[in-house]
Chain A
């Protein structure tokens, strides 16, 4: 039997984070919520999650910096999905350049996020 996958959700918007956490938990994932980049760092130091879902705009430590940190400093291939507000193409492009696996724009559709998360985790499982 597969173990429950852990998703690290990094978003400073409490309401949205709570909603997405609820949805992801309902989808069968264990969710760790971090409200800013510092918390993310602490959390990553503790344990590497199966996936990271991060907003680009966060206090102290932006989503781009988080990507850079995970890919370059930690050297982890953990799939990362970036949440960005619409019309922020530059950030999205740089996120992909730094190794983001997927991107979802705000306003977020929780159902869509769930599908993307599942897809990315499946890719990892298959060994894409």
Chain B
């Protein structure tokens, strides 16, 4: 048996984290729906990462595609056919996944960062801080999102980073509210009182007690924020507000629509991008739902207490 003097809290903590991590993994494995989501997601991420090797960037250029047939249905040379300018739809699909996922992830990082900071400060400090931050949040919440995003996207330069910025600054309020609510419940827990009675400072309480008990919620809201960001990017691109130099699925849809793919019954032009969006969004939602079930402290604590 271990001797007291050699007991290392850090080793024990890591062993425990490993254990609960592998616990979570095995529980996730049993969740078939979440696993399907995960597999689809990983597939898209791999595709996005190896896009440069899968299809040369030249496939996206109308100039380089000048000799290709236009409106060509799927064939051996063009697995997903060509568009009205003779460009490979497959290349657009592969490269488009890059933009959609990048925007999805980057905008989510921004959303969650702002949302968490605002939510935690408002919830923990309360009083004036809370009042000011929450009025700000409400203000962002009541502004109709799409017009604001359109105005911002129109005013700013049309770059992919500005799209990310637009999505980030318009979608944090709901995250902030969610996290603030959780902080408020955690704050009233008796163990926070105990920490105060032990002489703990505010930073200590936030770091040791509030954050660990809010983190699962933050993680869960990430998986919900990503699909929203992807859909928003699609919307903006479809409205013609995308970065003109980058191919995203939304932009593909917009061009297909503009070129009259629907009227020509050129399903191969718009279907891949549309299905890609649906697949990624659905995969995220399925995976996120499974993750939430594993991370939700209520469900877990209930289970542990039985």
- Answer yes or no: are A and B bound together in one complex: no
